[in-house]
Chain A
């Protein structure tokens, strides 16, 4: 069975852009006082001592203001960032819908992008072709499926991204709230598909600002603030308080 167990997980971001990234600064820092060396390195504590367990069947909402660490936590669960201290243990296949446009090749056609997405997931070319067919029907892109993605409108890009990203049935589904964009007709079909995806998954972790979305999809709320979990309640208790 799928589960997520995090023990005192901490993630820190070094911000090299502000100082220490350039070689010159690094070399100069070596020869100057310690004070300056410290001042050159800016570290942001993105996640601090997170301890929680998510059991099968749970639909968890991550809420909190911008910069609270929601997306960073999703990326940790997706295996992109590894903890600086503490431990994370997960069981189950993971599907991450974090940034819809990422991994899309703007110069390739919609169909090629879906095939590519399938290959990212480790599928064979034959499976990928079948996926492209299915995603093409679902996205309703029609003949635009064989046109470079660069020429798509914003709404079309989102439809393609959504279709490509949901061509999987993971046990642990990690999602940022971008999926709410799109036109009304597509949104109704997207909702059906999302419901399917969510009900197939053992665990859903959803980062969201929208309390209607939280109330509709989730059973448990983790409220984050400055990298810490400040509230951890079942969804009904959360809205009651």
Chain B
């Protein structure tokens, strides 16, 4: 038999008259971070199971992105009268980022509801389910990175020294993914009508955001693009890679939006964490 080595003696108190909601939420976040290896293992298992039996597995996503980039690249570079060698790197990075954001919002809606069996069986930090969802999305996105490298190589595009700015950009993306997943996961556990609404909003956002079209095409409107949170989220990574930098107001907007999403997620999580098991 194995001893409970790591835990020692545990004291567990839940008093409805003294719920200490904020402290419990922080405990959950810290506990979830401690069990990140579990979340990572579950995310890998999910990825593997999703493509079990398929020869190319998650690389199918890479192929489909490649076909999208090739087809749309030829079409839109003609429509917008752009040099395809300049347009393709932009499109490839845009589509990969958009697919990642789109996937995280869709899967965040099921972050808790799909883990119902585990939630009803054992006390586990809810943060583990969120990390599992976010890790899974990034694992599948990582399979498309070779495509980006290939497009850059073929088009002879070499990012300048500003490319190191993708580090803060990526951190902003992860932070928003985690906070957004908490918020959507909770909301969708309570109200089962939310996922289709989210899907509709995302479809509209795809066309309203500069993903297929370059921000310059808006001319005067470009200065106001930072009001679109999806643009901001994409631009903090795409800018350093293909556009030679990110406007300062986009960084500012990224900080404001991220703080907003994190605050919203925290308020929801603190307020509703102890109700979640009843909603599932």
Contact = CB atoms under 8 A, between A and B. Distances in A.
Question: Is B one of A's binding partners?
Answer: yes
Interface of A: 10, 13-14, 16, 21-24, 26, 75, 78-94, 96, 98-99, 101-103, 105, 107-108, 112, 115-116, 119-120, 122-123, 125, 127, 131, 167-171, 196, 200
A84 B16 CA distance: 6
Interface stretch (B4-12, B104-112, B141-149): B4-12
Interface string B1-29: 11110110111111111010000000000
B45 A116 contact: yes
Contacts of A88: 12-15
B6 A116 contact: no
Interface stretch (B91-99, B113-121, B217-225, B233-241): B113-121
Given A85-B17, A105-B45, A169-B1, A120 B191 contact: no
Interface residues of B, number: 43
B46 to A, nearest CB: 9
Contacts of A196: 1
B3 A99 contact: no
Interface in B11-65: 11-17, 19, 34-35, 37-38, 41-42, 45, 48-49, 52
Nearest to B123: A79
Contacts of A87: 13-17
A223 to B, nearest CB: 24
Given A21-B192, A81-B277, A102-B118, A169 B49 contact: no
Interface in B49-87: 49, 52
A149 B267 CA distance: 40
A21 B279 CA distance: 9
B41 A119 contact: yes
A200 B38 contact: no
Contacts of B7: 93, 122
A12 B52 CA distance: 41
Given A21-B190, A92-B9, 6 more contacts: A75-B277, A78-B123, A80-B123, A86-B15, A87-B14, A115-B41
